[in-house]
Structure 1
Amino acid sequence: MKKNAFTVIHIDEDILAVNKAAGLLVAADRWDTEAARLDLLIEQALPQLAPHCEKLYAVHRIDKDTSGVLLYALNADAHRALNTAFQERQIKKTYRLLIHGAVSEQHFTVDQPLRADGDALHRTVVDKRRGKEAVTHFTVLETFRRFSLLEAQPVTGRTHQIRVHLAASGYPIVCDSLYGSGKPVLLSEIKQRWHGDIYTEQPLIQRLALHAYQVEGTHPRFGTPFSFTAPYAKDFKSTVHQLQKL
């Protein structure tokens, strides 16, 4: 198993919530066939995690380079119930992310229709004529010298929705190589009195600075509310910590 590929947040006879590491696909992808897959790694661990479950059922996805909480069903009944809940927008998903720049308002909403695989790079694009409805609510949590920490709550679930909505608004997510510059964050470039070695310096973060922070909904068997929160990944946490110190 890939070291630190995931940690278990919650498991019972119906659902499994894990905290995914960045760099893992959650399922097969026609554009990236060689990358390690989280679903296969979890299936290898299922005999120890849930000996009596039927199999692993995916109910939603997050991007390969996004870290954070991912929810699975462990039987067909839970799968049907959770799929319905996602389709009817009864599951609330919350993300944390870093952007370049500062936003003037604390709360804002982006309502831009999106079309997947819309250009030669297979990116999702804003398309007001042929795009599908896409709405994301944003809250500014902290503003730093050159960056901001935001919380995002997507109402819809389009491919790369948060990334595209922010890039289209002029605030690309840090280290987004598809919709932004992809440039890593170096402490030497953001700290005024930095005394390290530029030849051995390691980036604070060099992958998409997007973290699936929380998933909330109703348990498919008991009808009770659940809320699963994923602690920040190490690189995301250390970057936020350094920015707070500047």
Structure 2
Amino acid sequence: MNPLPPLDYNPPTDPWLDVLYVDRDIIAVNKPSGLLSNPGRDPAHADSVFNRVLAEHPKAQIVHRLDMATSGLIILSLNKDAERHLKAQFRDRQTEKVYYARVWGTPEQPSGTIDLPLICDWPNRPIQKVCFNDGKPSVTHYEVIASDGQSSLVRLRPVTGRSHQLRVHMLALGHPILGDGFYAHDQAKALAPRLQLHAAELSFFHPYSNEARHVFAPCEFYSDAPERTL
């Protein structure tokens, strides 16, 4: 679920499309924060990763999404066979995703698993919330990479892919992601000009060769992350 874009939606345009990898079947793009993954219903919200790729690759299809405020890696298919193959991998949880986030404070445990069911807070959509009665199973592994006392850099590995999962799980842990306009308290929100959440790594099977592949998207607030590519 993408949150509704602000009325003055002005996504970043430089670079227009940060392509990390492309071949006959797939294209990997590093999405900036503030750009929609796919177009909104309003024509004013047409600019998106999908439409930018579609302009150069007319058969492209988006197979997974990131929140507008989240930056990082998105893979798109460039033909029907690749689309079918990749969507099945995401559906069957054969892909592995790694995110980095800068959060408020320092988690008490340096690593752990957050297992809290989530559901849309419908009157306040697109806000999500923990709900043990009707929520869908949602699991995130986390590891603290570094901390300066005021904030911490954490590595996040979602097992499930619920809307706003990482944002709500870190909030539930007591450590909201800095710059989060939906879930962070005022102090955490003020510490960053944008949501400090980045989709950095994706492991999957190439839709043509079926070989295991890995792609890495550089993170602007974590420059020490190792660069790994396909």
* In structure 2, C-alpha distance between the alignment counterparts of 1:87 and 1:7, rounded to whole Å: 26
Residue of structure 1 in register with 2:190 after alignment = 184
Matched, 1:90 2:94: yes
- What letter is aligned with 2:39? A
Change (3 A) 1:180 1:133: same
- What letter is aligned with 1:232? C
Matched, 1:106 2:117: no
Matched, 1:168 2:179: no
Secondary structure of 1:6's match? coil
User: Structure 1 residue aligned with 2:60, among 46, 56, 63?
Assistant: 56
1:104: Cα distance to partner? 1.9
CA RMSD of aligned residues (A): 2.2
Output the TM-score relative to the length of structure 1.
0.80
Residue deviations 1:60-106, cap 9 Å, x none?
Answer: 10110111110111111111111111111000010000000001222
Residue deviations 1:104-163, cap 9 Å, x none?
Answer: 222111111111243425301111111111101101111112000001111111000000
Residue of structure 1 in register with 2:51 after alignment = 40
Q: Which is worse superposed, 24-33 or 141-150?
A: 24-33
Larger C-alpha radius of gyration, 1 or 2? 1
Residue of structure 2 in register with 1:19 after alignment = 30
Residue of structure 1 in register with 2:13 after alignment = 2
Task: Assess if the C-alpha contact under 8 Å between 1:214 and 1:227 holds in 2.
Answer: yes
* In structure 2, C-alpha distance between the alignment counterparts of 1:63 and 1:230, rounded to whole Å: 16
Question: Gaps spanning 5+ residues in structure 2: where?
Answer: 1-11, 225-230
Task: Assess if the C-alpha contact under 8 Å between 2:50 and 2:61 holds in 1.
Answer: no
Task: Assess if the C-alpha contact under 8 Å between 2:128 and 2:168 holds in 1.
Answer: yes
* In structure 2, C-alpha distance between the alignment counterparts of 1:121 and 1:157, rounded to whole Å: 17
Task: Assess if the C-alpha contact under 8 Å between 1:114 and 1:124 holds in 2.
Answer: yes
* In structure 2, C-alpha distance between the alignment counterparts of 1:155 and 1:86, rounded to whole Å: 11
Output the TM-score relative to the length of structure 2.
0.85
Residue of structure 2 in register with 1:195 after alignment = none
1:206: Cα distance to partner? 0.6
Task: Assess if the C-alpha contact under 8 Å between 1:28 and 1:37 holds in 2.
Answer: yes
- What letter is aligned with 1:146? Q
Change (3 A) 1:90 1:66: same
Residue deviations 1:26-49, cap 9 Å, x none?
Answer: 013459963731211222233xxx
Matched, 1:72 2:59: no
- What letter is aligned with 2:108? S
Q: How many residues align?
A: 212
* In structure 1, C-alpha distance between the alignment counterparts of 2:125 and 2:26, rounded to whole Å: 35
Task: Assess if the C-alpha contact under 8 Å between 1:98 and 1:147 holds in 2.
Answer: yes
Task: Assess if the C-alpha contact under 8 Å between 1:138 and 1:153 holds in 2.
Answer: yes
* In structure 2, C-alpha distance between the alignment counterparts of 1:87 and 1:222, rounded to whole Å: 19
Matched, 1:220 2:224: no
* In structure 2, C-alpha distance between the alignment counterparts of 1:167 and 1:103, rounded to whole Å: 11
Secondary structure of 1:140's match? strand
Runs of 4+ in structure 1 off by over 2 angstroms are: 28-36, 116-122, 181-185
Residue of structure 1 in register with 2:218 after alignment = 231
- What letter is aligned with 1:210? L
Residue of structure 2 in register with 1:125 after alignment = 129
